[in-house]
């Protein structure tokens, strides 16, 4: 029997406003659904322990992790633009923190582990399909190399959860560099709790950021760093056609990892205003709105930090404005760089932004599949017949216009290696994810394992996985996603 690993809960040392105790709300009959042993190894977590009955009980939320004091984190949040002063982990808990051999600290967060003081009217539970969905999509992000929280395990609780229908319940173990969100800073600011603000700032700086360069005050350094990470992150989402779906301030993590995979989706056919979430009626979080929404959220972070940025409010506002002004240019630079790699365009030209916009216009007019276009284009750049692109567009004319426009900038020798690294063969396509979840609900995990295996190395084609590359047929297409939580 492996010795139990030693976890900690440094978050409990932060001011009381920021957390609340939780009771272990028992799962009646926990059983393993998925364990991410590769991730455990990366984190230096003993795989034998992860396989043990003790780990099963801990990751079901029945017993505390050795050495840790589970707690629910408190936070505020702007949800679809409206401010909720107190949200917090309603059905989740910070189960413990783990120090990896490289010295980095990682949160283990249980989602679906029972109602906390923040549950309001919620049942504190999560469905197996929602937790598997988060597992699959977050691991797809890891495969793509895009910063994201990870998934260590899914445990079935043995208890039913009632949503539109009766469903099996489950608990996800989420791993993150932090669970501090923009909304956590908003909570401290809304309560005028300067100690809490300072404590959060110091904690995040020490844990997830390099020391401020000489002459830069730590709060400003923090704001600048968070803005820089989000600019890069949103650009990476958009380069793979990802739509987060609920970019509320409580779902924006300050270390720059993608968090909270609710009604998110990778789009199939390209449309810049594409929305999947059933609750996003006005397209607030559409694909092409994501940079503006990220900036809106970061403005809420800057507001929360004002009292730390300078004692004089006018000066603080000036600092905040100067930092926020860096977001859009940084985003555009990352997005153009990312798109140039996808298109195999060498060097950087002043008119690349416009050229990229024209690429998207052709894709939109052609009603073309986002992922497959770039995959086929990579093959064409590598010498394949360009006729393979034509069937992806609604009309031959649109395909020809797209190719001509691409070639004009790509020239005779596009950077095909950059294209191979930037254009995934496999994404977590909605219809395949839904198919895997339906099978899992019926007790068959084989499609989930197969999908996870392909998504772990998404840039290389794998034998027998052609179907995972294909866009959905009209019948298969998933048009809406639900919090379905």
The binding site for Mg ion (CB under 5 A) comprises 251, 260
**Of 173, 186, 230, 251, which one interacts with ligand AMP (CB under 6 A)?**
251
CA–CA dist 123, 220 (Å, integer):
40
Q: Are the CB atoms for 443 and 435 separated by under 8 Å?
A: no
Q: Does 85 bind ligand AMP (CB under 6 A)?
A: no
CA–CA dist 127, 485 (Å, integer):
6
- Please list every residue from 227 through 246 that binds ligand AMP, using CB under 6 A: 246
DSSP result, 246-293: ---GGG-BTTS-B---SS-EE-SB--TT---BTT-TT-TT-GGGHHHH
Q: Does 9 bind ligand AMP (CB under 6 A)?
A: no
Q: Are the CB atoms for 364 and 394 separated by under 8 Å?
A: no
- Provide the mask over 124-153, with x wherever binding to ligand AMP is found by CB under 6 A and - wherever it is not: xx----------------------------
- Of 93 and 230, the one with the shorter C-beta distance to ligand AMP is 93
Binding range to ligand AMP, per CB under 6 A, among 89-97, 140-148, 149-157, 371-379:
89-97
CA–CA dist 66, 8 (Å, integer):
8
Q: Whole-number minimum distance, CB 87 to Mg ion, in Å?
A: 8
Binding range to ligand AMP, per CB under 6 A, among 111-119, 210-218, 322-330, 461-469:
111-119
**Of 88, 168, 344, 458, which one interacts with ligand AMP (CB under 6 A)?**
88
**Of 87, 234, 330, 427, which one interacts with ligand AMP (CB under 6 A)?**
87
Conformation bin of residue 464: beta by default, left when phi > 0, alpha when psi is -120 to 50: left
- What are the residues facing 161 on neighbouring strands? 167
Q: Are the CB atoms for 99 and 8 separated by under 8 Å?
A: yes
Q: Does 64 bind ligand AMP (CB under 6 A)?
A: no
Surface-to-core class of residue 81, CB atoms within 10 Å of its CB (0-12 exposed, 13-18 middle, 19+ buried)? exposed
Binding range to ligand AMP, per CB under 6 A, among 122-130, 237-245, 269-277, 392-400:
122-130
Q: Are the CB atoms for 118 and 20 separated by under 8 Å?
A: yes
Q: Does 260 bind ligand AMP (CB under 6 A)?
A: yes
Q: Whole-number minimum distance, CB 250 to Mg ion, in Å?
A: 5
Q: Which does 90 bind (CB under 5 to 8 A by kind): Mg ion, ligand AMP, none?
A: ligand AMP
- Of 137 and 410, the one with the shorter C-beta distance to Mg ion is 137
Q: Which does 303 bind (CB under 5 to 8 A by kind): ligand AMP, Mg ion, none?
A: none
Residues forming the active site = 250
CA–CA dist 377, 393 (Å, integer):
13
Q: Whole-number minimum distance, CB 441 to ligand AMP, in Å?
A: 18
Q: Does 119 bind ligand AMP (CB under 6 A)?
A: yes
- Of 129 and 485, the one with the shorter C-beta distance to ligand AMP is 485
- Of 87 and 403, the one with the shorter C-beta distance to Mg ion is 87
Structure tokens at 336: 């153009």
CA–CA dist 86, 75 (Å, integer):
6
Strand pairing category for 31-35 and 150-162: antiparallel
CA–CA dist 347, 421 (Å, integer):
17
Q: Whole-number minimum distance, CB 262 to Mg ion, in Å?
A: 7
Q: Whole-number minimum distance, CB 275 to ligand AMP, in Å?
A: 16
- Of 81 and 382, the one with the shorter C-beta distance to ligand AMP is 81
Q: Does 122 bind ligand AMP (CB under 6 A)?
A: yes
Structure tokens at 456: 């772990």
Q: Are the CB atoms for 8 and 96 separated by under 8 Å?
A: yes
Strand pairing category for 92-99 and 82-84: unpaired
- Of 296 and 459, the one with the shorter C-beta distance to ligand AMP is 296
What angle do the packed helices 182-190 and 194-208 form, to 10 degrees?
A: 160
Structure tokens at 328: 């859009």
Q: Whole-number minimum distance, CB 264 to Mg ion, in Å?
A: 12
Give the burial string for 280-300 (b: 16+ CB within 10 Å, else e). beeebbbbebbbebbbbbbbb
Q: Whole-number minimum distance, CB 183 to Mg ion, in Å?
A: 9
- Of 85 and 145, the one with the shorter C-beta distance to ligand AMP is 85
Surface-to-core class of residue 475, CB atoms within 10 Å of its CB (0-12 exposed, 13-18 middle, 19+ buried)? exposed
Q: Whole-number minimum distance, CB 156 to ligand AMP, in Å?
A: 17
DSSP result, 148-161: B-EEEEEEEEEEEE
Q: Does 182 bind ligand AMP (CB under 6 A)?
A: no
Q: Does 89 bind ligand AMP (CB under 6 A)?
A: yes
Structure tokens at 320: 């905040």
- Of 119 and 478, the one with the shorter C-beta distance to ligand AMP is 119
Q: Which does 329 bind (CB under 5 to 8 A by kind): ligand AMP, Mg ion, none?
A: none
By CB under 6 A, name the binding residues for ligand AMP. Answer: 87-92, 115, 118-119, 122-125, 246, 250-251, 260, 262, 483, 485
């Amino acid at each position: 029997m492996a010795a139990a690993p030693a976890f900690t809960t440094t978050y409990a040392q932060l001011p009381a406003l920021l957390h609340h105790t939780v009771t272990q709300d028992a799962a009646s009959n926990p059983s393993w659904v998925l364990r991410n042993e590769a991730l455990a190894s990366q984190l230096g977590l003993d795989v034998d322990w992860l396989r043990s009955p003790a780990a099963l009980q801990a990751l079901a939320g029945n017993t505390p992790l050795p050495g840790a004091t589970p707690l629910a984190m408190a936070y505020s949040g702007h949800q679809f633009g409206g401010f909720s002063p107190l949200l917090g982990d309603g059905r989740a808990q910070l189960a413990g923190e783990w120090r990896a051999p490289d010295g980095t600290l990682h949160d283990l967060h249980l989602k679906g582990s029972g109602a906390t003081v923040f549950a309001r009217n919620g049942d504190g539970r999560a469905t197996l399909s929602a937790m598997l969905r988060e597992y699959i999509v977050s691991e797809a992000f890891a495969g793509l190399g895009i910063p994201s929280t990870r998934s260590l395990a899914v445990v079935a609780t043995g208890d039913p959860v009632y949503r539109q229908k009766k469903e099996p319940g489950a608990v996800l173990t989420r791993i993150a560099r932090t669970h501090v969100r923009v909304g956590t800073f908003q909570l401290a600011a809304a309560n005028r709790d300067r100690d809490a603000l300072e404590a959060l700032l110091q904690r995040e700086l020490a844990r997830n950021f390099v020391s401020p360069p000489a002459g830069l005050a730590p709060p400003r350094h923090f704001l600048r760093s968070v803005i820089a990470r989000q600019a890069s992150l949103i650009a990476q989402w958009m380069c793979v056609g990802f739509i987060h779906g609920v970019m509320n301030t409580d779902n924006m993590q300050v270390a720059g990892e993608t968090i909270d995979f609710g009604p998110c989706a990778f789009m199939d056919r390209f449309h810049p205003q594409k929305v999947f979430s059933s609750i996003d009626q006005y397209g607030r979080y559409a694909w092409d709105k994501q940079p503006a929404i990220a900036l809106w959220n970061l403005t809420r972070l800057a507001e929360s930090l004002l009292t730390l940025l300078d004692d004089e409010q006018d000066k603080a506002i000036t600092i905040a404005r100067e930092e926020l002004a860096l977001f859009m240019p940084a985003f555009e630079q990352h997005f153009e760089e990312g798109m140039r790699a996808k298109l195999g365009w060498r060097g950087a030209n002043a008119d690349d932004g416009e050229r990229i916009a024209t690429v998207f216009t052709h894709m939109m007019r052609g009603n073309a599949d986002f992922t497959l276009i770039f995959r086929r284009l990579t093959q064409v750049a590598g010498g394949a017949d360009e006729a393979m692109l034509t069937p992806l567009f609604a009309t031959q004319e649109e395909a020809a216009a797209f190719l001509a426009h691409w070639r004009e900038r790509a020239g005779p020798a596009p950077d095909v290696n950059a294209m191979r690294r930037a254009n995934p063969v496999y994404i977590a396509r909605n219809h395949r994810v839904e198919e895997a979840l339906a099978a899992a609900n019926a007790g068959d995990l084989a499609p989930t394992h197969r999908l996870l295996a392909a998504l772990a190395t998404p840039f290389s084609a794998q034998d027998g996985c052609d179907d995972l590359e294909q866009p959905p047929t009209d019948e298969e297409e998933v048009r809406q996603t639900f919090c379905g939580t």
